[in-house]
A and B are shown apart, each in its own frame.
Chain A
C-alpha cells in the first residue's frame, strides 16, 4: 500500500492505494474494468475508496503524481489477471469487523444443493454467452469468465461456510458484497476452478454399499483377467 496526505479545499486528505495487484480486491478490479475510459483521478478514487468529489477538490494535482506511476504499473499487471491459476490454501473474510478464515479444499465440490444449482446456472449462462459470441470451436482456449460471474459463484460457494447460516439464495446473492472485498488474486483462481470443472462440479455418491460393490466387481474382473492370462496395460 502507498499512502500520501494531500491538501484539498476542506483540509487534509489521506489517500492510500494498493501498490501491487496482490493487494487489490475483486470489487476494485470489477469497478476499474467497468469503465473503459477511466482517468487517473477516477482510478485513484476506486483504489483508495475516497469519493471522487473529494479528490477533485485537491489544491495541487502534482501531489497525486506518485499515484500515477503505480496506476500504470497496476494496469499492466491487470492485463495478466487470468494467468494466475494457483489455488490459495486459506482465505479470509472480514464480516462486520470479525475475521473468518477457512481452508480452501482441493476438492471444491459445491454444497449445498441450492448453491450447486445456482452456481451451475451462472456458469452455464456465461459459457453459452461466450459460445454465442465467439463460436463453439475450441471455446475453452479463449474463454475467461467475467468477474461478475466469478463473484456470484464464489458468493454461493462461500455463503454457508462463512456465515454458518442455512443456504438462502437471496442472502447468498447479497453475499457478493463480501466476496468483492477478497483479494482478486486469491478469489479469481477459486472461481475459475468451477468454470473449468463445469459440468462436473460435484461427484455422485450412492453410498458405501455401492462403493463396496464397485470395488468387489472390479476385483472379480481383475481376477478373471488374471486367470485368462490377459495383461492389463
Chain B
C-alpha cells in the first residue's frame, strides 16, 4: 500500500524523515532533537514502533 502511494519519494530526505516525525512536523524542534543523546532518540523510536505494533494487533483483534 505504502509503496503504491509513493513512500519511496521520502527516501531522499534520509534521516530528516525521522527527525521530522519525532518533532511532530515542527521544524523549530529539529535542532533540539538533533542535539539529544542518540540513545534517548533510539529509545523513543523503539517505543513508537512497539506502540504501533500493539495498535495494529489491537485493531486486528477488534476487527476479527
Contacts and interface: CB of A to CB of B under 8 A. Distances in A.
Interface residues of B, number: 17
Contact of A110 (B34, B38, B46): B38
Contacts of B42: 202, 204
B15 A117 contact: yes
Q: Is the interface of A mostly helix, strand, loop or mixed?
A: loop
B51 to A, nearest CB: 14
Nearest to B41: A113
B14 A113 contact: no
B9 interface: no
Interface of A: 109-118, 120-121, 166-169, 202-207
Interface of B: 14-15, 18-19, 31, 33-43, 46
Given A112-B36, A113-B38, A202-B38, 5 more contacts: A111-B37, A114-B33, A117-B34, A204-B39, A206-B43
24 contacts: A112-B35, A112-B36, A113-B35, A113-B36, A113-B38, A113-B40, A114-B33, A116-B38, A117-B38, A167-B34, A167-B35, A168-B31, A169-B34, A202-B38, A202-B39, A202-B42, A203-B39, A204-B39, A204-B42, A205-B39, A205-B43, A206-B43, A206-B46, A207-B43
